[in-house]
Structure 1
Amino acid sequence: MADRPSARAALSLVTDTFSELPYPERHSAPDGPLGWSGYDEARARAAARTGETESVVCGVADVDGTRAVLVAFEFGFLGGSLGEGTGDRLEAAYAHAIAHRLPLVSLVATGGSRMQEGMLALTQLQRVARASARAREARLPQIAALRDPTTGGGWATLGAGADVVLALPGAQVGFAGSRVRPPDADPAAYTAEAQVAAGAADALVPPEELRAALGRWLRLLTRPSSDPPPPPHALGAVDLPATGWDAVSRARAPHRPRAAAYLDAYFTSRVRLSGDRCGGADPGGMLCGFGDHEGRTVAYAAQTGTATRPAGYRTAARLIRLADRLGIPVLTLVDTPGAANDAQAERQGAGAAIADLFAAVAAARTPLTTLVVGEGGSGGALALAAPGNTWATPDSYFSVIAPELAAAILKRPPTEVEATADALRIRPQDLVELGVVRGVVGSEGTQAAGSR
């Protein structure tokens, strides 16, 4: 416990302007609501050791230029556990954030609920969940920074329930604390690194970088906009393909610019959202996050040219719903030969994940813009496309199915694949004429619109 930074030390890592909020007064019975023998003495010792009277410290501060409500757990006070007094403070912090339209940042370090208060302690999780839900309804971002340890109900509410979850390297993170796990449990599964790999946390952030990281996230998530983002300029070929197969060949060319190049050119800076919060991540197939484009925030979900995994679709749906709630416009980049269709993808719920992304796009009230930058392979690509505001680059195509597979389904010989590509009308200019895309973007930002 001695080597774990206190709540005040954690706050000093991220701000120099912390102003503590007034706390609700609670008059508890001797030794607490259960009359737990020695509870008052334990609290007195914790207070003497830490200088705090509860396991959380709440206040308002500027974090690298953005005003926010901060909640910091004091692990030295009864293991950072949640009791009724903790719930009072957390509920008051959320209420202040809502009343003053401020984002909320939680610096979490907790062992769970306070046993000396029994079920009354456990029900504080419901209070926190209700307060968090009210903040979501108010369209306020919530960010968690996971310190060591983050376990139990604190992880399952303020931690995992945040919009963005950052974690300090090496922190113990998991619902089960070290004393209640199965004896044969792999300790590596209960780490910040494992939670990022499993899609439950977004990124590892060293303590010395936490202030800057929180500052970037807070700035980006607190700048709503009602204008649709413009499509990026084309980075590859500028001339239109002559045939359908020419379009396919150019889209599949290994040297063609991919999502990372487009994102780097479009944003002056960006932060990444990672993981589907269901146990999976697809870092190689779907890039999601928020970036700064010409002074305003734009969210992005970009396929990377590989077959998209179910976790990738769920992460994109998570991104779009968060951006929609915060009023932030979204840019999507389509580039996939199609959804992953192996047995593992089916076991991971490929169909349900794609359906959920279709639903997120369809329900979004925030403006969405899509650019097809490479392969547009069937429904696995269309799920990411904005209806009525999709554009294409000259070195892309969009097809109901790959020409080779279309020929096979239609029982055509391999020699008919190129002719099938033409018949499918998958070139960018064909898509404009069909009304599937609005236009073809050029390298200078020009947009060649076609007839409907």
Structure 2
Amino acid sequence: MRDRLTARAAIAALTTEFEELVESGVADHDTDGDGPLSWAGYADSRARAAARTGEEESVVHGLASIGGRSCVLVSFEFGFLGGSLGRRTGDLLEAAYEAARTRGLPLVSLIATGGSRMQEGMVALTQLQRVARASARLRAAGPAQLAVLRDPTTGGGWATLGAGADVILALPGAQVGFAGSRVRPADADPHAYTAEGQLAAGQIDAVVPPDELPETVARWLQALHAPGSPALGPAPVPDALSATGLPVTGWDAVRQARSPSRPRAEAYLDAYFDHRLPLGGDRCGGTDPGLRCGFGRRDGRTIAYVAQCGTATRPAGYRTAARVIRLADRLGVPVLTLIDTPGAANDAEAERAGAGAAIAGTFAAIAEARVPVTTLVIGEGGSGGALALAAPGNTYVTQDSYFSVIAPESAAAILKRTPDEVRATADQLRLRPQDLVELGIARAVVRPDPSED
């Protein structure tokens, strides 16, 4: 799909109110000349672009309301020299970030750019440093940054405003990539440079059809700009969804946790949240289909979530989890984690993908979090791959779960025991829910809500 909306048409399609900001600190660079390089004909090119688009530069910014949610909005005008970034573009972008910082508002960027402006050479390229610095200042101040990738989003625009945002949405079929169509290798896979390809590679969070974009962005602004009040405390512990009784033996606990009929993460998340906004991908080229991450709304409150779905968690999953936990911590949003994994993936591919470092990053994200983290073990709690997502001192367990230093089969193998000793080993590991409470690992065994009977 070719999105060739003008900057203002893109704004109008998304917002209910928009007030353009004209910043006094923005210099009127080179409007009467051929720019910092004295590039012959550059002034004429700018004049033609201005006449064609009605804009004086490749970006427009201002205060906006999207679904009743306030933000600072930046929109690129691709018709103005391909939406390229020059020195004056840098001024306007820096002003937009500063407006968001001083007003304490999220920044939403509607990006459509071919990259840096050739007619300004290195002067244009160094605007990326200015954008990166302004983005870092806004991030340090707290407000979230959300990017909408239009067609195309390439070059420095992708590598700063786009890929540097906290939440990255894209329109279907948009061209997205650091290399533009005229400079990438001739034999390159074209799918890699699309919104869909970037989604599959874990570089963006969602591909959103144009008619769904206003509601999606409004919901994200509600979630990201409505942090949970510290006075409300941690995320509430979910009710158990299974009436299974407590296991008698350790092996009973393992069997119950591994039962195909046991409720999984999706059921818990659906029951817990009024609605959810998923985040996906580790921003390093990977995704983990066995992990659910994002922000959700519950009783008018925003809560971030990370939920394992019963599979071995891969390095990309741990990196995604750490990303979400750190974002929630920055925004002051409490976190809920649901544990259900036989353990971290330990195949050769996982090792090459940095399993150890990824798990360490998740441990660190939990340890460093200033916001409260609530954990519920809803199935298997296998070794460090599960513990990495557990909140010290605020972990709960369901009756059909277990938590162990390692799966009993692996424990028996490590201890050089025979297969028929696995069940006895499970008892010795004291991995049942009631054992975990007695040992002080879990605070309580969670049961179903009696009002649901």
Q: TM-score, normalised by structure 1?
A: 0.97
Q: How does 1:269-288 map to 2 (within 5 A)?
A: 269-282=275-288, 284-288=289-293
Q: Determine if the alignment matches structure 1 residue 151 to structure 2 residue 154.
A: yes
Determine which of 94, 97, 105 is the counterpart of 1:94.
97
SS of residue matched to 2:17: coil
1:27 Cα deviation after fit: 3.8
Q: 1:280 to 1:2 in 2, by over 3 A?
A: closer
Q: 1:61 to 1:6 in 2, by over 3 A?
A: same
Q: How does 1:38-437 map to 2 (within 5 A)?
A: 38-225=41-228, 226=230, 227-282=233-288, 284-437=289-442
- Tell me the amino acid that sits aligned with residue 374 of structure 2: T
What percentage of residue pairs aligned between the two structures are identical?
71
Q: Contact 1:233–1:445 (CA<8 Å) still a contact in 2?
A: no
Cα distance in 2, alignment partners of residues 135 and 127 from structure 1: 12
Q: Contact 1:232–1:445 (CA<8 Å) still a contact in 2?
A: no
Cα distance in 1, alignment partners of residues 115 and 76 from structure 2: 11
Q: 1:445 to 1:349 in 2, by over 3 A?
A: farther
Q: Contact 2:29–2:88 (CA<8 Å) still a contact in 1?
A: no
SS of residue matched to 2:73: strand
Q: Contact 1:224–1:297 (CA<8 Å) still a contact in 2?
A: yes
Q: Contact 1:129–1:157 (CA<8 Å) still a contact in 2?
A: yes
1:341 Cα deviation after fit: 0.8
Q: Contact 2:223–2:296 (CA<8 Å) still a contact in 1?
A: yes
Cα distance in 2, alignment partners of residues 309 and 2 from structure 1: 35
Q: Contact 2:310–2:341 (CA<8 Å) still a contact in 1?
A: yes
Query: For structure 2, which runs of at least 5 residues remain unmatched after alignment?
Result: none
1:14 corresponding residue in structure 2: 14
Q: 1:371 to 1:20 in 2, by over 3 A?
A: same
- Tell me the amino acid that sits aligned with residue 338 of structure 1: G
1:31 corresponding residue in structure 2: 34
Q: Contact 2:3–2:151 (CA<8 Å) still a contact in 1?
A: no
Q: Contact 2:57–2:80 (CA<8 Å) still a contact in 1?
A: yes
Cα distance in 2, alignment partners of residues 358 and 178 from structure 1: 40
SS of residue matched to 1:323: helix
Cα distance in 1, alignment partners of residues 371 and 59 from structure 2: 36
1:238 Cα deviation after fit: 4.2
Q: Contact 2:376–2:398 (CA<8 Å) still a contact in 1?
A: yes
Q: Contact 1:378–1:398 (CA<8 Å) still a contact in 2?
A: yes
1:16 Cα deviation after fit: 2.4
- Tell me the amino acid that sits aligned with residue 8 of structure 2: R
1:346 Cα deviation after fit: 0.7
Cα distance in 1, alignment partners of residues 380 and 68 from structure 2: 41
* CA deviation map 1:208-259 (0-9, x unaligned): 1111000010000111222101110000134211110000000000010000
- Tell me the amino acid that sits aligned with residue 114 of structure 1: R
Q: 1:445 to 1:432 in 2, by over 3 A?
A: farther
1:13 Cα deviation after fit: 1.4
Q: Contact 1:150–1:172 (CA<8 Å) still a contact in 2?
A: yes
SS of residue matched to 1:374: strand
Q: Which moved more, 1:13-22 or 1:312-321?
A: 13-22
Q: Contact 1:17–1:61 (CA<8 Å) still a contact in 2?
A: yes
SS of residue matched to 2:307: strand
SS of residue matched to 1:32: coil
Query: For structure 1, which runs of at least 5 residues remain unmatched after alignment?
Result: 447-452
1:3 Cα deviation after fit: 6.4
Cα distance in 2, alignment partners of residues 239 and 251 from structure 1: 12
Cα distance in 2, alignment partners of residues 164 and 60 from structure 1: 19
Q: Contact 1:238–1:442 (CA<8 Å) still a contact in 2?
A: no
Q: Which moved more, 1:18-27 or 1:398-407?
A: 18-27
Cα distance in 2, alignment partners of residues 197 and 219 from structure 1: 26
Cα distance in 1, alignment partners of residues 414 and 152 from structure 2: 55
Cα distance in 1, alignment partners of residues 29 and 236 from structure 2: 57
Cα distance in 1, alignment partners of residues 81 and 450 from structure 2: 59
Cα distance in 1, alignment partners of residues 17 and 275 from structure 2: 26
Cα distance in 2, alignment partners of residues 239 and 185 from structure 1: 56
Q: Contact 1:238–1:443 (CA<8 Å) still a contact in 2?
A: no
**Pairwise CA RMSD:** 1.3
The runs of 4+ residues in structure 1 deviating greater than 6 Å are none
SS of residue matched to 1:341: coil
Q: Determine if the alignment matches structure 1 residue 444 to structure 2 residue 449.
A: yes
Cα distance in 1, alignment partners of residues 450 and 304 from structure 2: 20
